[in-house]
């Protein structure tokens, strides 16, 4: 009889884990790449220029967005410039995709209202550091702390119930 209870407890635990595993597997990996990337400035007026930077990419990098023509940063170089479309809508946030070999990094470019505030020949003096795009704050692999806590509570509760049921003695004294 004890073997049946242990098997039931094990089955209950496996069921609980199989129900939470697909959600963990489907979570977005985020923008963790082996190379660093950034758009400077991250907010620009329509018609303005941005500097596209990449650090640690051993291939050519293709940078694309719906707000400027695709730009290629050749292997061995770390930056290029792009001119934002003049008809870009102020207040809109566009995705900027950095493609380095088989890896893809994604960041945002916000369109501000007004005219460009910097001269096209201006070159920023600071340099990006690797990992400058770290992802959303307060999350781990796309889950926020409340989701992680809820999942942990469900697993702990399921394991506690399974352990309790496997430890219970038969109500009729164990004789059949």
Do the domain assignments include residue 133?
yes
Count of structural domains, the chain = 2
Domain identity same for 126 and 173:
no
Q: What CATH number does residue 102 fall under?
A: 2.60.40.10
DSSP H helices in 88-144:
none
Over residues 156-174, the pLDDT tens digits come to 888 888 778 878 766 665 5
Confidence at residue 31, expressed as pLDDT on a 0 to 100 scale: 57
Do the domain assignments include residue 145?
no
Q: Comparing C-alpha atoms, which of 49, 51, 44, 50 is closest to residue 90?
A: 44
Instruction: State the DSSP code for 57.
Output: -
C-alpha to C-alpha distance for 138 and 119, rounded to whole angstroms:
37
**63 within 8 A of 97, measured Cβ to Cβ:** yes
Do the domain assignments include residue 147?
no
Do the domain assignments include residue 73?
yes
Domain identity same for 12 and 79:
no
**164 within 8 A of 69, measured Cβ to Cβ:** no
Domain identity same for 61 and 87:
yes
Question: What is the band of 124 on the pLDDT scale with cuts at 50, 70, 90?
Answer: very low
Range of the domain at 109: 36-139
Over residues 60-117, the pLDDT tens digits come to 999 999 999 999 999 999 999 999 999 999 999 999 999 999 999 999 999 997 554 4
Do the domain assignments include residue 146?
no
C-alpha to C-alpha distance for 128 and 143, rounded to whole angstroms:
27
Over residues 6-64, the pLDDT tens digits come to 566 665 565 655 555 444 433 344 457 899 999 999 999 999 999 999 999 999 999 99
Domain identity same for 58 and 115:
yes
- Residue 51 CB neighbour total at 10 angstroms: 17
Name residue 54's beta-bridge partners. Answer: 37
Q: Three-state DSSP class for 146?
A: helix
Do the domain assignments include residue 31?
no
Q: Three-state DSSP class for 138?
A: coil
C-alpha to C-alpha distance for 172 and 89, rounded to whole angstroms:
76
Provide the whole-model pTM: 0.50
């Amino acid at each position: 009889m004890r073997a049946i209870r242990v098997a039931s407890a094990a089955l209950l635990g496996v069921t609980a884990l199989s129900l939470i595993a697909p959600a963990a597997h489907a979570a977005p990996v985020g923008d963790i790449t082996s190379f660093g990337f950034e758009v400077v400035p991250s907010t620009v007026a329509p018609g303005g220029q941005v500097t596209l930077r990449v650090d640690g990419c051993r291939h050519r990098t293709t940078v694309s967005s719906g707000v400027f023509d695709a730009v290629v940063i050749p292997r061995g170089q770390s930056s290029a410039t792009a001119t934002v479309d003049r008809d870009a809508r102020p207040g809109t946030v566009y995705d900027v995709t950095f493609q380095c070999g088989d890896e893809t990094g994604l960041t945002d470019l916000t369109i501000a209202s007004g005219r460009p505030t910097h001269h096209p020949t201006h070159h920023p003096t600071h340099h990006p550091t690797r990992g400058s795009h770290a992802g959303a704050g307060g999350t781990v692999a796309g889950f926020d702390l409340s989701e992680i806590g809820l999942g942990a509570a469900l697993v702990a509760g399921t394991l506690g119930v399974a352990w309790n049921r496997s430890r219970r003695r038969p109500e009729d004294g164990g004789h059949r």
